[in-house]
Amino acid sequence: MTVQIDTLPALRLLLAEQRRQGKSIGLVPTMGNLHAGHVSLVTCAKAQCDFVITSIFVNPLQFGPNEDYARYPRTLPADKTVLETADCDAVFTPAVAELYPAGLEQQTRISVPHLSTLYCGKSRPGHFDGVCTIVCKLFNMSQPDVAFFGLKDFQQFFLISRMVADLQLPLSLVGMPTIREASGLAMSSRNGFLNADQREQATAIFATLQHIARLIRNGERDFPQLERLALGQLAAAGLRPDYFHVVDRTSLLPAHSQSLELVLLTAAYAGSTRLIDNVTVEAPVHG
Ligand code: AMP
């Protein structure tokens, strides 16, 4: 049985009881419209923790004024069924007023400097401050031993890791691999916005990432040239690329000539739907 709670006092009571029983607590923060990617996080959490709570909260603080907050899919009844099936112990479904009682304007914010302004942060100013703030609040409210995130949101996971380190928060993080459709398209709650043509176009995102990764593995090191090639491939597929960057995944800064551990980060629009994806790649050591 998945217990549903929607207030902070009820959450504290429930989790205090679990802690009193000596149970470890795993937290899976989500915005709902759950798919197999989310389920993989819950399954991993169940394997590692005694009590697993999934939060479902479409966080207004991380959406820009012209973004899709209002039409973001909200499918709570179906989500509850998914969580029951995944044997999730509890689901936290707070209202906006429960988490932002003083309103959004007055909310104290958590901001990871500089890295929050790159890549997705450049196209979505303030987005990662909204993400870090809500995740920090959820950590404070539930005080989990372990929190589970998807590496599909690579920059997000990097920034949350940095926040946890900088604020010396007493929990550990787990980053899980991206779950994909058979076509290679990364599962996302926003895929539901795509029509058949756009869904087809969107397969070019992972294909392009894989192509560029292959070139790097084969020794190609002209990263600006590879980025231009990738943008061209995305556009040729009918997408509107936002960015494609070869990034040093140890620092999240743009890769330089000595970078070996890389991640390719990209975002592209299919119609008006913005999709993100990434792949990690090891550059060969030159002899
Ligand atoms: P969201 O509901 O989109 O905010 O995502 C909630 C969590 O699920 C985040 O940690 C995401 O990185 C993760 N997630 C989303 N899509 C996937 C996916 N395709 N594979 C694995 N994890 C995912």
DSSP string, 21-61: TT--EEEEEE-SS--HHHHHHHHHHHHH-SEEEEEE---GG
* Distance from C-alpha of 74 to C-alpha of 70, rounded to nearest angstrom: 10
pLDDT digits (tens, 9 = 90+) for 33-65: 999 999 999 999 999 999 999 999 999 999 999
* Residues 150-164: tens digit of each pLDDT: 999 999 999 999 999
Which residue's CA lies nearest to atom 12 of ligand 1? 150
CB of 188 closer than 6 A to ligand 1? Answer: yes
- Any idea how long the chain is? 287
Q: Cα(129)–Cα(255) distance, rounded to whole angstroms?
A: 24
pLDDT of 287 reads 54
- Give the contacts of 46 (CB within 8 A, at least 6 positions apart): 26, 52, 86, 87, 88
Distance (Å, whole) CA 208 – CA 203? 9
Ligand 1: which residue has its CA nearest to atom 10?
149
Ligand 1 atom having least distance to the Cα of 179: 20
Tokens 């946890």: give the residue. 164
pLDDT at 110 over 90: yes
Closest ligand 1 atom to Cα of 188:
16
pLDDT at 36 (0 to 100): 98
Selected residue with higher pLDDT from 287 and 117: 117
State CA 99 to chain mean position distance. 20
Q: Which of 35, 38, 127, 245 is catalytic?
A: 38
**Token digits of residue 177:** 């691999």
CA of 55 to the centre of ligand 1 (A): 12
What are 214-250's pLDDT values in tens digits?
999 999 999 999 999 999 999 999 999 999 999 999 9
Q: How far is the CA of 150 from the centre of ligand 1 (A)?
A: 5
Please report how the helices 8-20 and 127-142 are oriented relative to each other, as an axis angle in degrees rounded to 10.
50
127 Cβ below 6 A of ligand 1: no
Closest atom of ligand 1 to CA, residue 153: 12
Global pTM value: 0.98
For residue 112, give Cα distances in angstroms to 109, 118, 235.
10, 11, 32
How much distance in Å is there from the Cα of 188 to the middle of ligand 1?
A: 7
Model confidence at 266, pLDDT cuts 50, 70, 90, reads: very high
CATH 3.40.50.620 matches 3-176: yes
Instruction: Note if 38 is an active site residue.
Output: yes
Which pLDDT band, with edges at 50, 70 and 90, does 167 fall under? Answer: very high
Q: Is the CB of 189 under 6 A from ligand 1?
A: yes
* 189-280: CATH number: 3.30.1300.10
Q: In what order do the strands lie in the sheet with 273-282?
A: 253-254, 240-248, 261-270, 273-282
* Three-state secondary-structure class, residue 4: strand
3-state secondary structure 202-271: HHHHHHHHHHHHHHHHCCCCCHHHHHHHHHHHHHHCCCEEEEEEEEECCCCEECCCCCCEEEEEEEEEEC
Q: Kindly state if the Cβ of 179 falls inside 6 Å of ligand 1.
A: yes
Task: Answer yes or no: is the C-beta of 227 below 6 A from any ligand 1 atom.
Answer: no
Query: Are the C-beta atoms of 11 and 92 separated by less than 8 Å?
Result: yes
pLDDT in tens, 80-108: 999 999 999 999 999 999 999 999 999 99
**DSSP string for residues in 105-165:** TT------TTGGGSTHHHHSTTHHHHHHHHHHHHHHHH--SEEEEETTSHHHHHHHHHHHH
Average pLDDT for the chain: 97
The structural domains of the chain, with segments of one domain joined by +, span 3-176, 189-280
Distance CA 213, CA 226 (A): 10
Task: Check pLDDT > 70 for residue 134.
Answer: yes
Is ligand 1 within 6 A of the CB of residue 30?
yes
Q: What does each C-alpha distance from 146 to 59, 173, 274 come to in angstroms?
A: 21, 6, 30
* Residue 54 φ/ψ, nearest 5 degrees: -105, 130
